[in-house]
Structure 1
Amino acid sequence: MSARKTAPFRADHVGSLLRPPALLTARAAHAEGRLGDDELRAAEDDAIRDVVAMQESVGLQAATDGEFRRTSWHMDFLYQLDGVSSSKDSSVEVAFRNASGNLTFASMSLVIDRRIGLSTTIFGDAFSMLASTVTSAVPKLTIPSPSMLHYRLGGAPVHEGSPYTDPDQFWSDLAGAYREEISRLYGLGVRYLQLDDTSLAYLNDPAQRESMAARGEDADHMHERYVDTINAALSGRPDDLRVTTHMCRGNYRSSWAAEGGYDHVAEKVFGGLEVDGFFCEYDDARSGDFSPLRYLPRGDQQVVLGLVTTKSGQLESPDTLKRRIDEASQVVPLEQLCLSPQCGFSSTVEGNELSYDQEVAKLELIVSVAEDVWGS
């Protein structure tokens, strides 16, 4: 068995990477009005060139820009959709947990004030710069999946004052906007696209479903609507555009928001979501076992096992990773498996609680183990 020539790769990663101190300093200066837009862009470009070189040097076949131009992995994208704006009068708070206790992530609420559409290509310039920077790796772009807009709305799209009177029209417009975005990104050269989707993992948590049901929505079946919408967004995509999805249970400053295995969504997601690969969080017992992967069809679809945690700097044992890959291969054939971190290293600008050197060591470990298991 040998390394894969198409994405997702045997050794891969989710996307976000720790922001270097110089970039954080530049962002702070820009926020305070002490640094101009052009100067911030130059600082971002410098940091991206460095982080792409790092990814290539450790042997990764795909490289991202680390999401260095974003504050948040998803909100920066969602606010740029036509019809989506922020509400200064309210905020969305997400409760996160870690071994030390609880903390809260808060951002301005999303508001749908007109029908959803797409005027400008979101992250198009960011991808073009990334593509001009890589030398040996495939440039990979990450964007939030369409499910995230609904999940972050915090309520049904049809309500008093909404531009929508029919929920089906909301989902149709949302899929259409994404379909146009994907077409435009392909025109810019994107051949490896990842749809990040915490909602599909969150819905495995009974507490998350209870919260959604309390808002009057069909929480037990919402994942089916999400999968159908993603498939509609991907309909007609070119054969050489590789698309994956990443499903985790929250990642903010080394904390998490939900728990539970993939059982609740498994049959519809693994058996029906029309993507080329599934990045799945599997770094601890909170993520459940590998049995839900049994719904994956025999074929070319890949499961990228997120066995290496980004929530701490402690380096995993290569033997432990190989043992867990072997366990997963009892459910999914080895040729349909890959290896990655369980999430990004910096889903928001703050980043997780580990050092740059620890981040690099984890990426090197993933490449080394993948070579041992699948060949170079």
Structure 2
Amino acid sequence: MTTITTTKAPFRADHVGSLLRPESIHQARKDFHEGAITAEQLHEIETKEIKRIIDKQIEAGLELVTDGEFRRRFWHTDFLEHLTGIEGYVPEVGYIFNGEEETERYNVRNTGKISFNPDHPHVKDFIEFNEIVGGRAVAKQTIPSPNQLFNEGIRDVDIYPDIEEYANDVIQAYRDAIKAFYDAGCRYLQLDDVYIAGLSSPDIPFNEGEFSREYLIDLALRVANGVLEGKPEDLVVTTHLCRGNYRSNWAFEGSYTLIAPTLFAKEKVNGFFLEYDDDRSGDFKPLEHIPNRGARVVLGLVTSKKGELEDRETIIARIREASQYVPLEQLCLSPQCGFASTHHGNNLTEEQQWEKLKFIVDIAKEVWG
């Protein structure tokens, strides 16, 4: 059996992480909440489907696989609510997306001093997932970025009147999380980040809040780099900058121009997954801030929000266009986001999802060999 190493991660053909939940998982979740099946039975059904999608990813030609985030309801809250000092709750309103679409109401809030929970269930889930993969591909783990905890309304100012103290505890919690995943065998970890992408959106005002946009960009960089201090050399860490992904809808728009000089130039990750599937993303010029021979840039040129395949030659031409700012050998290709950042999933079929991933693999082979 061939065991794939992470020396090439992020890979020429990669993907963000989440996959469409099959009906069996939707039904099992419903049955569990109604008391018709046990937690163990739900876990067994999820495991069966995770085994299936691991095989499907390998069949598509991918060198990395994820568990599709099949044990989660939301891409971020499921992880964050299991940190010490954070709890999940149902707010009065959900997130508001394009067209005033309100998401399902669920969020997290700060209830005490923040630290990593050594019994965090996602670490246990990764161990089981990695055992199923069995070295046939790289087992990629996705978790929300520590900067997601800086969204408005999460920090309790009575517990943390000083945001810098809050940041220090978040950094330490994530350092401990990264070590826990590494000790569990993880060698490819992705930090998903809507917050940082929001700092570059002109639609989101910062001039009326407690802190300026410039301060928050600087703080986001310090948090992102702080959690990576002492990172093992053989652990690949990437970040995905997302503008919202809920039932094929998006939350905001804007290029990466405002954050590029700081975050692209100085964030110490091994790769950036960047959304470039439509005009909301702006052009490739901000990529000029990526250091030569620095982080890989994974171009999210193939949309996960709809099922129709893009034109092959157009995608290849856009990769060539991006190479005017970042050397071709530093570029990779992926969908712009996951296919199901929440349990609802995007508006495409599972067959279309697999076609998209195979499409990316085929183009990557043509471009990079």
* TM-score using structure 1 length: 0.93
1:276 aligns to what?
270
Partners of 2:337 and 2:44 lie apart in 1 by 27
What letter corresponds to residue 368 of structure 1 in structure 2? D
Match for residue 36 of structure 1 among 20, 35, 38: 38
Which residue, 108, 111, 114 being the options, matches 2:112? Answer: 114
Aligned to 1:189: 185
Amino acid at match of 1:345: F
Question: 1:104 matched to which residue of 2?
Answer: 102
Q: SS state of the match for residue 217, structure 1?
A: coil
Partner-residue secondary structure (3-state), 2:339: coil
Name the % identity. 44
Whole-Å separation in 2 of the counterparts to 1:368 and 1:280: 20
- Cα contact 2:302–2:335 (8 A) shared by 1: yes
Given that residues 121 and 181 in structure 1 are in contact (C-alpha distance below 8 angstroms), is that contact kept between their aligned partners in structure 2? no
Contact 1:17 1:344 in 2 (8 A): yes
Contact 1:146 1:175 in 2 (8 A): yes
- 1:315 alignment partner, one of 286, 309, 313: 309
Contact kept? 1:91, 1:106, Cα under 8 Å:
no
Amino acid at match of 2:19: L
Query: Is the alpha carbon distance of 1:7 and 1:372 closer, same or farther for their aligned partners in structure 2, counting shifts above 3 Å?
Result: same
Verify: 1:347 aligned to 2:341, yes or no. Answer: yes
Asked if structure 2 preserves the Cα contact closer than 8 Å seen for 1:91 and 1:108, the reply is: no
Cα distance in 2 for residues equivalent to 1:38 and 1:30:
10
Q: Does 1:147 align with 2:113?
A: no
Give the structure 1 partner of residue 3 of structure 2.
Answer: none
Residue of structure 1 in register with 2:201 after alignment: 205
The 8 Å contact of residues 92 and 109 in structure 1, kept in 2 or not, is answered as no
Is the CA contact (8 Å cut-off) linking 2:14 and 2:64 kept in structure 1?
yes
Residues 331-368 of structure 1: CA distance to partner in whole angstroms, max 9, x if unpaired? 10000000000000000000000000000000000000
Contact 1:158–1:166 at 8 Å: present in 2 too?
no
Residues 94/220 of structure 1: CA separation in 2 closer, same or farther (3 Å cut): farther
Report the residue type matching 2:25 in the other structure. Answer: L
Secondary structure, counterpart of 1:214 in structure 2: coil
CA distance in 2 between counterparts of 1:25 and 1:158 reads: 36
* Whole-angstrom distance in 2 between the partners of 1:167 and 1:300: 31
Structure 1 residue 213 displacement after superposition: 4.1
> 1:305 aligns to what SS in structure 2?
strand
Structure 2 contact 111–156 (Cα < 8 Å) conserved: no
- Alpha carbons of 1:163 and 1:201: their partners in 2 closer, same or farther (altered >3 Å)? same
CA gap of 1:176–1:187, structure 2 versus 1, over 3 A, is same
Please say if 1:254 is aligned against 2:256.
no
> Helix, strand or coil: the match of 1:194?
strand
Partner AA of 1:6 in structure 2: K
Give the 3-state SS of the residue equivalent to 2:231 in structure 1.
Answer: coil
Q: Specify the SS of the correspondent of 2:125.
A: helix
Return the TM-score normalized by structure 2: 0.95
- Aligned length in residues: 363
Distance 1:121 1:12, change over 3 A: farther
Of 225, 231, 236 in structure 2, the residue corresponding to residue 231 of structure 1 is 225
- In structure 2, the residue corresponding to 1:264 is in which secondary structure? coil
Q: Give 1:300 shift.
A: 4.0
Matched residues in 2 for 1:283 and 1:115: separation?
A: 39
Q: For residue 370 of structure 1, what is the aligned residue in structure 2?
A: 364
Q: Structure 1: which 4+ aligned runs deviate by more than 6 Å? A: none
* CA deviation profile, 1:275-312 (whole Å, cap 9, x unmatched): 00000000001110000010000114100000000000
**In the alignment, is the contact (CA less than 8 A) between 2:110 and 2:156 conserved in 1?**
no
Q: 5+ unaligned residues in a row in structure 2: which ranges?
A: 1-5
1:73 matched residue in structure 2: 75
Give the superposition deviation at 1:168: 1.4
CA–CA separation in structure 1 for the residues paired with 2:93 and 2:268: 30
Closer, same or farther: CA 52–327 of 1 in aligned 2, 3 Å:
same
CA contact (8 A) 1:94 1:105 kept: yes
Q: CA deviation at 1:92?
A: 4.9
Q: Within 2, Cα distance between the matches of 1:87 and 1:341?
A: 31
Describe the superposition over 1:30-69 as per-residue Cα deviations: whole angstroms up to 9, x where unpaired.
1111111000000000000000000001110110000000
**What SS does structure 1 have at the residue aligned with 2:259?**
helix
Distance 2:149 2:93 in 1: 13
Question: Aligned residue for 1:329?
Answer: 323
> Which residue does the alignment assign to 1:220?
214
Deviates more, 1:360-369 or 1:27-36: 27-36
